[in-house]
């Protein structure tokens, strides 16, 4: 079992979730159960899937949870774009999109490494 807190990608995903929660505080109230909720849930899901995967006993399971985290990251990528296009994000929040991309890249790299390790072990 791996400690998820030791993974740089988990740290970045957690920081991203905190940033998403902060920026969505200013979204219109009519979005509370819509875009606000979706962005918060999928951002938290990234770090949660990484953590859950670390608690699994083999690399196959860990890899599957990393893929789930990637799905949530792609979903968040779209929601950030939508929020920007709807005018809900100001220029200070423009940094969110590159942060999502960075997490996706880190997830992709780790996922490839885990997949390779999975098939190289006897």
Domain ranges of the chain: 4-120
CA distance 60 to 39: 28
Q: pLDDT band for 101, please (50, 70, 90 cuts).
A: very high
Is-above-0.85 flag for pTM?
Answer: yes
pLDDT tens digits for range 34-75 = 999 999 999 999 999 999 999 988 888 999 999 999 999 999
From 1.20.1440.60, 2.60.40.10, 3.30.300.30, 3.40.640.10, which CATH number describes the 4-120 domain?
1.20.1440.60
């Amino acid at each position: 079992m791996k400690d998820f807190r030791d993974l740089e990608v988990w740290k970045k995903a957690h920081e991203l979730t905190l940033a998403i929660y902060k920026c969505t505080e200013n979204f219109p109230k009519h979005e509370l159960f819509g875009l606000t909720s979706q962005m918060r849930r999928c951002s938290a899901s990234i770090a949660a899937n990484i953590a859950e995967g670390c608690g699994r006993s083999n690399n196959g399971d860990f890899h599957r949870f990393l893929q789930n985290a990637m799905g949530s990251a792609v979903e968040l990528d779209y929601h950030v774009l939508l929020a920007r296009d709807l005018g809900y994000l100001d220029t200070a929040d423009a940094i969110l999109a590159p942060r999502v991309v960075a997490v996706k890249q880190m997830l992709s790299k780790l996922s490839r490494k885990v997949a390779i390790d999975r098939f190289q072990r006897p």
